[in-house]
Amino acid sequence: MTVQAEPSDRPDAPAPAAPPEGRARGAGGEREGGVLNVFSHGVLVIWGLMVTLPLLWAVMSAFKSDKEIFSSPWALPKSPDFGAWGRAWSQAHMSQYFFNSLVVVAGSLFGTMLLGAMAAYVLARFDFPGNRFVYYLFVGGMSFPVILALVPLFFVMKNMQLLNTYQGLILVYIAYSLPFTVFFLTGFFRTLPSSVAEAAMIDGASHTRTFFQVMLPMAKPGLISVGIFNFLGQWNQYLLPAVLNVGDDDRKLLPQGLVALAASQRYKGDWSGLFAGLVIAMLPVLAAYIVFQRQVQSGLTAGALK
């Protein structure tokens, strides 16, 4: 009596084919990734439209007459009218407010970047007692709402005779922007190679020269990125100048001027002048971002890439 081997017991029998689980899982993963990409791109498109359309509408309204704004608010201007720009710039004193903001923001931005870069470099490159404590003090300053310090800040500035002055606002803006600047640049300086600084020190460079001539140029992407964020926050700041610039119309900044313009033009019915003043306030911010867009993106991704 002979026993026949099962097909699976035969040595020359081919192995059963494995089910295409990997292919099925890969296809499923690709489908899930495609759905996620479509969803994320859809959200970005919606967000972009929400940001861009009001901006375009404000620009179009600045070139229309008041009658066109109410009769055809979504249509392009039939004939561009530049009179609203002249009224907003001269009659509404936007030129003076623009100059005041330019002086204050330029001084505060320079002081913020200089002091913030120096503090961040020391915290990132040198070990000393209290290093982490000082760093976390700056981090804690980011979570402190400035509205809680308005009353004591007002009396401090009053006692120092810095109310209604450029110097007072510049100092307050620097203190307001330093925590985020130090936090951002400390992480950025830690990503820079220390071998370059060590080579400069071996060649006889001092710590000051190494910082200003070696490390600071290497941190240019990070400096530009945090500089743009500080510029946006300081240019659009309304609460601090509204409290510290009381009773002096000649020292008002652009956000205060926009509020005064909105209050006056609402009663005059000059809506095109109001839109023109709004666009004038937005132009420096848009220009700064367009010029330094690539540097901002490289600065934000530099730490992740390294």
Q: Tell me whether residue 69 is in a domain.
A: no
Question: In this predicted model, what pLDDT tens digit does every residue of 111-168 receive, in sequence order?
Answer: 999 999 999 999 998 999 999 999 999 999 888 888 888 999 999 999 999 888 899 9
Q: Tell me whether residue 71 is in a domain.
A: no
Q: Tell me whether residue 122 is in a domain.
A: yes
Q: Where are the alpha helices (DSSP H) in 87-130?
A: 94-125
Return d(Cα 189, Cα 250) in angstroms, integer: 41
Mean residue pLDDT across the chain = 82
Q: What SS3 state is found at 265?
A: helix
The answer to whether 281 and 258 are in contact (CB under 8 A) is yes
pLDDT at residue 2, as a whole number: 47
> Where do we find the tokens 């964020």?
229
Return the CATH number at 245. 1.10.3720.10
Q: What is the 3-state secondary structure (H, E, C) of 164-180?
A: CCHHHHHHHHHHHHHHH
Q: Tell me whether residue 6 is in a domain.
A: no
Q: Tell me whether residue 39 is in a domain.
A: no
* Axis crossing angle, helix 254-268 with helix 271-291, rounded to the nearest 10: 150
Residues with Cβ within 8 Å of residue 273, at least 6 apart in sequence: 84, 87, 88, 91, 92, 261, 265
The residue type at 33: G
Q: Which structure tokens are listed for 75?
A: 């249509």
Return d(Cα 65, Cα 221) in angstroms, integer: 43
- Across the range 175-182, mean pLDDT stands at 94
Return d(Cα 16, Cα 10) in angstroms, integer: 13
The answer to whether 199 and 143 are in contact (CB under 8 A) is no
Percent of the chain scoring above 70 in pLDDT: 82
Where residue 5 falls among pLDDT bands split at 50, 70, 90?
very low
pLDDT at residue 300, as a whole number: 60
> Where do we find the tokens 């899982």?
25
Return d(Cα 110, Cα 105) in angstroms, integer: 8
Return d(Cα 44, Cα 228) in angstroms, integer: 22
pLDDT at residue 104, as a whole number: 94
* Axis crossing angle, helix 166-191 with helix 94-125, rounded to the nearest 10: 40
The answer to whether 279 and 58 are in contact (CB under 8 A) is yes
Q: Tell me whether residue 8 is in a domain.
A: no
Q: Which structure tokens are listed for 71?
A: 């009769």
The answer to whether 272 and 60 are in contact (CB under 8 A) is no
When mean pLDDT is compared across 6-15, 33-42, 57-66, 252-261, the lowest value belongs to 6-15
pLDDT at residue 248, as a whole number: 63
Q: Which structure tokens are listed for 143?
A: 């979570």
Q: Tell me whether residue 53 is in a domain.
A: no
In the chain, how many domains are there? 1
pLDDT at residue 8, as a whole number: 47
Q: Which structural domain, as residue segments, surrounds residue 159?
A: 85-305
Q: Tell me whether residue 9 is in a domain.
A: no
**Minimal CA–CA distance to 189: which of 122, 108, 235?**
122
Q: What is the dihedral angle through the alpha carbons of 287, 289, 292, 297, rounded to the nearest 10 degrees?
A: -160
- Across the range 84-94, mean pLDDT stands at 79
Return d(Cα 56, Cα 190) in angstroms, integer: 41
With vertex at residue 271, the alpha carbon angle to CA 266 and CA 277, rounded to the nearest 5 degrees, is 100
In this prediction the pTM is 0.78
The answer to whether 138 and 183 are in contact (CB under 8 A) is yes
